[in-house]
Amino acid sequence: MRSHEPVREAERLLAQCYDDMRRVARRILAGESLSASIQPTDLAHDAAIRLILSNDDIALEDRGHLLALAARTMRRILIDEARKAGAAKRRTPTLMTSWPGSPATSHVDIGDLDEALEALRAFSEPHAIIVEMRFSLGFTVEETARQTGIAERTVKRRWQAARAWLHDYMVTGDNVPLE
Amino acid sequence: MSRSSEVERRALELVELMLDSPDDEAAQAALLSSESDAVRARVSALQAAMRDSASRLPTMFPDEAADAADAHPPEQIGAFRLVRRIGVGGMGGVWLAERNDGLYEQKVAVKFIRPGLVRLAGAAFRAERRILARLEHPGIARLIDGGVTAEQTPYLIMEYVDGLPIDEALHGRPLAEQVKLFLKAADAVQFAHGRLVVHADLKPSNIFVDSQGRVKLLDFGIARLLDGEAAEGADAQPMTQAYASPARLAGAPPTIADDVYALGLILKALASGQGDADLDAIAAMASDADEKRRYGSVAALIADLDRWRDQLPVSAREASLAYRARLFVRRHFTGVALTTAALLLLSVASAIAVQNAVRAERNRARAEQRFDEVRQLAKFMLYDLYDELARQPGTVARRAEIARTSADYLARLDLSAEASPALRLDAARSYRRLAAIQGLSGTSNLGRPQDALQSLARAEALLARGDERGPLRADFLAELGWVHLDRWLLQPDSAASARENREARRLLQAARTLAPRSDAVLLGLLVADKNDAYDRIWTMDDAPRAATMARAALARVTAHAWPDALADIAAKLRIELLSVLGEADYQTDDLTAALAAYQEADRLIDAQIARHGPMPNLVILKGQNAFDLSGTLGDMAGRQQEALDIARGGVAALRQVLEQGPDAAAEKKLLILYGQQALLLSDLGRPDQALVPSRASVALRERRLAAAPDDPQRMRDLAIGLGAHVDRLGEAGLAAEACDAARRAATLWVRIKALGRLGALDARKNVPRSSERVATHCGA
């Protein structure tokens, strides 16, 4: 199979975006309390249409960028959905997930994660994109490198730094403790 | 204390840098020495977090420690032992090396720069390393490492490709396989262009094919970055004269166009002596000495080669595209939102593409990508989205919008520098689709035949331009033939239709000479046969001959195994041929044979509906056939009630389609069924009941003519409807109204004749009957 076919790039962009969004939808919804009311396919559809209808940012630099945006859009929908459905704080969905490569699963509150990622994006968009690719979309280092055109080595380092940053943020919040 | 963005950004940067030398505390301290306290505090917090998350959430990749190469003797570079020299690149020797650190087996190519060149071309060498670092592609030899030996000689460690230069590797393979491998190389080049890198020294010995058919580009030694980071001294580098473009030989800096040229020469060598006119034309265009006449991009070259390949029987891709489109459109994704979203996306992308297309060279690679995206998106909309919407009633207007937008975008792209014959063909096909939805009878349409004619004229103009060098290709000729077949639909029942069909046949036969095995061309010729048979009945009043012709064409279309992409068009042609056959039999008073033909058509339509669901186009066919069946049964003794039931069934199905939105083809079938219902009720001795469908029929015909007042076809529809209505009014004893209607019908026939659009059968039968009606109902 030819791995890069410019002629069908846009078609594949749409199709792959769709497949990846269903993948991330399944990831997000796995073991999640909302999974009874939202099907992964519907979540993916809603995200796709939001994405397509958003006026800004549709002329994306590369596929990595597009996919990261898709993942973010999906998370937003889920949070909106949870707010609509539950209202009460105790029903805010908890994202059950594992960091890539980790045998252990840990619970991350999806709202907290979104907040941390937004904070990271505000400081460094390139780091946030790597997190979306690796974490939300579940891409390997190699795949991430291919999608973004960034060297594997850089992806690895960036991912490690970003992960440490998120971990730190989720522990300490927006404020940095004075030493 | 709130986070400061400057501090956070810097801390992230430093943490990333320090990951390069995780155990070198001195280096880390040096990095931090000039940083502020705030930054240092954040760095140590992040490092703590990293240890924390690393123990609780271990990372999946081991550190790459052992690649420091400095301390090794020349026969050893890093983990690799040099085996033998395998070549001399533009700047120095290339060696085969093997990993000997015992970890695993690996062969690599180590490329050195000649010591004397370091000062002169060291920057270019470093640029190659940077360039390769951004080119991760299976078709480009991978950069594994790089550095400087103890003797201060820079080196690159590259993926070793165990294969042959492309010209040797292709020798003796079937042509299709050669083109396939060539396309892999072109893809890799296009990928580099997309990353703003021009190879600048493409030649067979830089494109290797290994024993498993993998293609790798080598030697980006004099590659150039297009986004400003030009390699110093690169222009002074040696290049291979035989594959250098005229512009390069004249001393111009390398551009995308030079890579296109070199690929063109390689393709030319591959195509030579194969006797394939299309492939020769593609190679000639790619290697045109005049840059302006060359393909604007490798993507455009690939697009044409893809088209060339598509002439081979490949249909799997189409099927999967359609399948994906269905997924995309399903459920709440249907309807207005999707159409709007797609149009919006297209317009945004297109604005960028068209803007970029006229920008400077250094943006050209990006512009090409956008260009292809827009083109693909337009095609996605025009084929997949459009086809999906066609499954649902009430989408005629939206489909027209999609077809118009796509066609206009494609036509605009055709004016840009990137245009290619393949694009022109796409644009022409878009206009044909647009024409169909605007007003080709027999399919769902907007009922605007004049617009349809205009769209067909645009398609024809695009096709007539061809590729602007040499005679038209087979696919252009065939498409022009189909334009004339479409036009035939807009003027049946007149002499003009015979002319269109003749022209269609001439073009399709010319295409057949060039592409004797093309299924699309054969199908076009059989459609022309069907048209001829139809004209035999209605224009030449020669039903017996028409029956013979229709039977012959039917046998051929039934016997042929059509590829999936054409199966539905072929099925429709069979149905239409049965319909023509039934009509011919009916005209020669062989009612039994006519009934059999119509019943066979009905079975075929039902089979199509079972396969695709009740698509509007199929319901319309069913409606037409219901009229034919009902009309035939109505003339058979004792079967009027059966005929009436069939007519009613047809009316109900068509009205269901029309309830979802306007559709001129459905209307047309509906009005003839109204007339049929009225006639049958009259035959059954229920003149008052007959007036209801009869009035509905006339009202609908009036409305249609009002929408296209100069359309002779609609004048004829109304004249015929009025004629029948006169008879129903007479039977019901409404004499004055009957006379009015008879006079109106007569006036319409006069207008049709004045326009030169009166068919022979109408002249022989319908016009005299119209005069008789005036005489009968308006008699003094």
**Averaged over B563-572, what is the pLDDT?**
89
The answer to whether B70 touches B76, Cβ cutoff 8 Å, is no
Q: How far, in Å, CA of B42 to CA of B528, rounded?
A: 78
Helices and strands of chain B, counted as H and E runs? 31, 11
Domain B163-310 homologous superfamily, CATH:
Transferase(Phosphotransferase) domain 1 (1.10.510.10)
Please give the single-letter amino acid code of residue A164: A
Between B131 and B115, the more confident residue is B131
Residues in Cβ contact with B160 at an 8 Å cutoff, skipping those fewer than 6 apart:
B96, B97, B107, B108, B109
Question: What is the number of residues in chain A?
Answer: 179
For residues B558 and B517, what is the distance between their CA atoms, to the nearest angstrom? 17
Is the CB of B60 less than 8 angstroms away from the CB of A100? Answer: yes
pLDDT of residue B427: 80
pLDDT of residue B421: 78
Q: Which residues of B touch A2 (CB under 8 A)?
A: 183-184, 187
Per the prediction, chain B carries an average pLDDT of 79
Q: Average pLDDT for residues B226-232, to the nearest whole number?
A: 43
Whole-number Å distance between alpha carbons of B381 and B373: 12
pLDDT value at B229 more than 60: no
User: Are the Cβ atoms of A162 and B12 closer than 8 angstroms?
Assistant: yes
Tracing tokens 């840990």 back to the chain, one arrives at A106
**Tens-place pLDDT, residues B516-560:** 888 999 999 999 999 999 988 877 889 999 999 999 999 999 999
Q: Sorting pLDDT into bands at 50, 70 and 90, what band is B265?
A: very high
- Give the type of residue at A153: R
Q: How confident is the model at residue B124 (pLDDT cuts 50, 70, 90)?
A: low
Res. B442: pLDDT tops 80: no
**pLDDT bucket at B606, cuts 50 / 70 / 90:** very high
Q: How far apart are CA B551 and CA B536, in angstroms?
A: 13
What is the rounded CA–CA span in Å between residue B117 and residue B247?
26
Lowest mean pLDDT among A166-170, A171-175, B33-37: A171-175
Average pLDDT score over residue span B575-600:
94
Cβ contact, residue pair A167, B183, below 8 Å = no
Min Cα–Cα distance to chain A from B406, Å: 14
- The closest alpha carbon to B356, from B413, B300, B421, B303, belongs to B413
CA distance A168 to B743: 91
In this prediction, what percent of chain B has a pLDDT beyond 70?
Answer: 78
Instruction: Measure CB to CB from residue B136 to each of A6, A146, A158 and give the nearest one.
Output: A146
Using CA atoms, how far residue A20 sits from A105, B77, B111, B766, in Å, is 22, 41, 39, 64
Q: Pick from B105-114, B181-190, B244-253 the range whose average pLDDT is largest.
A: B181-190
Residue B100 · residue B178 · CB < 8 Å: no
The pLDDT of residue B597: 96
Closest to B372 measured CA to CA, from B267, B458, B297: B297
Distance from CA of A32 to the nearest CA of B (A): 21
- Specify the pLDDT at position A124: 87
Query: pLDDT tier at A42 (50, 70, 90 boundaries)?
Result: low
B582, B628 in Cβ contact below 8 A? yes
Query: Cβ of B49 and A14 within 8 Å?
Result: no
Distance from CA of B354 to the nearest CA of A (A): 13
For residues B620-645, average pLDDT? 91
In the predicted structure, residue B571 carries a pLDDT above the cut 80: yes
| Cβ contacts of A52 on chain B, cutoff 8 Å | 341-342, 344-345
With beta carbons less than 8 A apart as the criterion, state whether B546 and B536 touch. Answer: yes
Q: What mean pLDDT comes out for the span B566-585? A: 93
The pLDDT value recorded for residue B701 is 92
Q: Are B694 and B688 in contact (CB under 8 A)?
A: no
Residue B146's contacts (CB-CB under 8 Å, 6 or more residues apart) are B129, B154, B155, B156, B157
Contact yes or no for A165 and B352 at CB 8 A: no
* Contacts of B273-277 spanning 24+ positions with Cβ under 8 A: B274/B175, B276/B175, B277/B473, B277/B514
CATH architecture of B76-159: 2-Layer Sandwich (3.30)
CA distance A169 to chain B (A): 9
Which of B469, B526, B453, B474 has the alpha carbon at shortest distance from B712?
Answer: B453
Q: Do B12 and A10 touch (CB under 8 A)?
A: no
Distance CA B738, CA B731 (A): 9
Confidence label for B590 from pLDDT (cuts 50, 70 and 90): very high
pLDDT tens sequence across B485-512: 999 988 755 678 889 999 999 999 999 9
- Greater pLDDT, B493 or A23: A23
| Per-residue pLDDT reduced to its tens digit, B314-371 | 222 333 333 334 444 443 334 444 555 555 455 544 444 444 444 433 345 555 555 6
Q: What are the boundaries of each domain within chain B?
A: 5-56, 76-159, 163-310, 316-463, 708-780
Q: What percent of chain B has pLDDT over 90?
A: 27
pLDDT of residue B522: 95
Question: Is the pLDDT score of B449 beyond 60?
Answer: yes
pLDDT band at A84, cuts 50/70/90?
low
CB distance B504 to B485 below 8 Å = yes
Over residues B666-722, the pLDDT tens digits come to 888 898 899 899 989 998 899 999 999 999 999 999 998 998 898 888 899 899 999
Q: Which helix (H) or strand (E) is B208 found in, with range?
A: strand B207-210
Residues with Cβ within 8 Å of B238's Cβ and at least 6 positions away in sequence, in order, are B90, B222
Quick one: pLDDT at residue A18? 57
Q: Quick one: which of B445, B438, B322 has its CA closest to B380?
A: B322
CA B463 from centre of chain: 16
* Integer-rounded Cα radius of gyration of chain A: 16
Average pLDDT over residues B463-474: 75
> Which has the higher per-residue pLDDT, B105 or B98?
B98
**Residue A40, amino acid:** P
pLDDT given at position B62: 25
Instruction: Verify whether the Cβ–Cβ distance A123 to B184 is below 8 Å.
Output: no
- pLDDT of B319 reads 33
Categorize the per-residue pLDDT at A26 as very low, low, confident or very high, splitting at 50, 70 and 90: low
pLDDT value, residue B642: 92
Calpha distance A77→A83 (Å, rounded): 10
For residue B57, what is the nearest residue in chain A, using CA coordinates? Answer: A102
The average pLDDT across B391-404 equals 73
Cβ of B491: how many Cβ atoms within 10 Å? 18
The pLDDT of residue B479 is 93
Q: What percent of chain A has pLDDT over 90?
A: 0
pLDDT at A55 (0 to 100): 39
B253 vs A142, more confident: A142
DSSP-based three-state secondary structure for B772: helix
Task: Check residue B130 and give its pLDDT.
Answer: 74
Candidate from A43-47, B67-71, B289-293, B662-666 with smallest mean pLDDT: B67-71
pLDDT in tens, B405-422: 777 777 766 666 556 777
Give the model's confidence band at B596: pLDDT under 50 very low, under 70 low, under 90 confident, else very high: very high
Do A157 and B194 lie within an 8 Å CB cutoff? Answer: no
Could you tell me which of B124, B251, B263 has the C-alpha nearest to residue B193? B263
Confidence at residue B373, expressed as pLDDT on a 0 to 100 scale: 58
Lookup result for tokens 């020797």: B93
pLDDT of residue A98: 44
Q: Is the pLDDT of residue A23 over 80?
A: no
| Interatomic CA distance for residues B311 and B668, integer angstroms | 37
Asked whether the CA dihedral B238, B240, B243, B246 is positive or negative, the reply is: positive
Phi, psi of B23 (to 5 degrees): -105, 5
Q: Which residues of A touch B179 (CB under 8 A)?
A: none
Per-residue pLDDT band for B426 (boundaries 50, 70, 90) equals: confident
Of B480, B485, B481, the closest CA to residue B459 belongs to B480
pLDDT-based confidence at B665, cuts 50/70/90?
confident
What are B767's two structure tokens? 């016009």
> DSSP code of B766?
I
Considering only B405-409, B584-588, B641-645, B659-663, which range has the smallest mean pLDDT? B405-409
The DSSP bridge pattern shows strands B107-112 and B93-99 to be antiparallel
Nearest chain B Cα to A9, which residue? Answer: B373
| Better-scored residue on pLDDT, B427 or B645 | B645
Chain A contact probe: residue of B187, B295, B350 with most A CBs at under 10 A? B187
Task: Answer for the pair B256, B363: CB distance below 8 angstroms, yes or no.
Answer: no
Residues 6+ apart with CB under 8 A from B680: B630, B634, B640, B643, B644, B647
CATH classification of B316-463, choosing from 1.20.120, 1.10.10, 1.25.40, 3.40.50? 1.25.40
**pLDDT by residue (tens digit) across A113-132?**
778 888 888 888 888 888 87
B597 vs B140, more confident:
B597
Q: Are B455 and B431 in contact (CB under 8 A)?
A: yes
Residue-range domain boundaries for chain A: 6-172
Nearest to B49 among A48, A59, A167 (CB): A167
pLDDT at B388: 67
Does B754 score more than 80 pLDDT?
Answer: yes
Q: Are B301 and B286 in contact (CB under 8 A)?
A: yes
Most confident by average pLDDT, A34-48, B387-401, B532-546, B591-605? B591-605
Note the pLDDT tens digit of each residue in A128-143. Answer: 888 877 776 667 788 7
Q: Is residue B666 within 8 Å of residue B616, measured between CB atoms?
A: yes
d(CA A151, CA A158): 10
Question: Which of the 8 DSSP states describes residue B212?
Answer: T
Burial profile B631-666: b = 16 or more Cβ within 10 angstroms, e = fewer: bbbbbeeebbeebbebbbbbbebbeebbeebbbbbb
CB-based contact A55 B348, cutoff 8 Å: yes
Better-predicted residue by pLDDT, B361 or A52? A52
> Could you tell me the sign of the dihedral formed by the alpha carbons of B269, B271, B272, B278, in that order?
negative
Chain A environment of B299 (Cβ under 8 Å) = 6-7
pLDDT at residue B64 is higher than 50: no
- Interface ipTM > 0.85: no
Tell me which amino acid residue B672 is.
Answer: I
Flag if B377 and A42 touch (Cβ within 8 Å): no
Q: Do A35 and B401 contact (CB within 8 A), yes or no?
A: no
Query: What residues of chain B lie within 8 A of the CB of A122, using their CB?
Result: 5
Q: What is the DSSP string of B310-376?
A: HTTT--HHHHHHHHHHHHHH-GGGSSHHHHHHHHHHHHHHHHHHHHHHTS-GGGHHHHHHHHHHHHH
Query: For residue B490, which of B459, B455, B536 has the smallest C-alpha distance?
Result: B455
